[in-house]
Amino acid sequence: MQLSELLAIRHCVFLMGPTGSGRTECYKVLAKSITKGCPAPENDYLKVVNKKKVVIRDINPKSISTQELYGYVNMATREWKDGLLSFNMRELSNIPDDNPKW
């Protein structure tokens, strides 16, 4: 419930905590609940996204370098090289539906 309330008022949410604290399970349960639908949504976010398929992109920032995560400018050619975050954000923004994208 707290995650859905945060999503109602924030554009960006990070789930943080120690190993085994339930971060992954938290957003997976919320995504399943949204997809199945809530009979009487309590907050504005749930009213808008009720019964819509949630698109999830899970990225582990510890497994890659900073440049691979955010992207970088190649100084020799002045070209931008996308990182995982910018690549995924661009990819998700090109999906024309109004389903929630996490």
Q: What are the extents of the domains in the chain?
A: 1-53, 55-102
pLDDT, tens digit, 9 for 90 and up, residues 47-99: 888 889 999 998 888 889 999 999 999 999 999 999 999 999 999 999 999 89
Q: So what's the pLDDT on residue 49?
A: 87
Across the range 33-43, mean pLDDT stands at 82
Across the range 33-38, mean pLDDT stands at 87
Question: Of 36-40, 66-70, 98-102, where does the model show the most confidence?
Answer: 66-70
Q: So what's the pLDDT on residue 39?
A: 79
d(CA 42, CA 63): 37
Q: So what's the pLDDT on residue 72?
A: 95
Cα distances (Å, whole numbers) of residue 18 to 2, 21, 23, 24, 65: 18, 6, 9, 11, 21
Q: So what's the pLDDT on residue 11?
A: 81
Q: Is the pLDDT of residue 2 over 90?
A: no
Residue 62 tokens read as 């510890």
Q: So what's the pLDDT on residue 85?
A: 92
For 80, residues 6+ apart whose C-beta sits below 8 A from its C-beta are 71, 72, 73, 74
